[in-house]
Amino acid sequence: MGGYGSGRNGYKVLTSRKMSLDIRTLKRKGYLNPGMHFSWYWKMNNGQEAGSINICTGNDGLSLNYKLRNNEGGWQTIETLVELDWTSCHFGSRRPWFLCPRCSKRVAILYGGKYFNCRNCHCLAYPSENESQTDRLYRKVWKLREQLNAPINMTRPILFKPKGMHWSTFIRLTDKAHQLESQIYSEIGCQFRIK
């Protein structure tokens, strides 16, 4: 199993949510065959190990085993089952997918955090205040854009002053909309800063 495998005794730390598992890589390396048992490592830029997990393959899924440090400084062992799904491609080949353990959607990449889930589920796992905060910002922007007769679409510019509106009002509302939009972009940005 080359450089990957200390196997059953190789419990290590999962330290960062930036760790991802790509099913295409596992397949390419032949690691999806039932009965495999190996460790998967992530390296930091400086070459040091960032974390690792143990993976066992069954007929229709993988089990992921790892230890996490809990708040009290102890260790928590986590075992997650990830089901696999296969779709047919051209020429009779089959393409594997993970079924996200949380939402069951087919995905090619799972992201580590406390648990391995799809990118979407990791975003939803952020505190709900964050979501409603973003929703609130969107509502304010749409309202302003309506007042300004501008497209209800943040990627389109606010160009024309509505008839009868004072220039000072137009500039003030446009500034306000731009300010809210950049807040939304930074909110969305932080929700997707996983990889």
Task: Tell me which residues touch Zn ion (CB under 5 A).
Answer: 100, 102-103, 117-118, 121
Q: Which is nearer to Zn ion, 17 or 102 (CB)?
A: 102
Q: Residues 147, 148, 152, 153: is their CA dihedral positive or negative?
A: negative
Q: How far is the CB of 186 from Zn ion (least distance, A)?
A: 24
CB of 110 to Zn ion, least distance (A): 8
CB of 23 to Zn ion, least distance (A): 14
Nearer to Zn ion, 38 or 116 (CB): 116
C-beta closer to Zn ion: residue 36 or 123: 123
**Cβ distance to Zn ion smaller for residue 125 or 165:** 125
- Tell the smallest beta-carbon distance from residue 185 to Zn ion (Å): 24
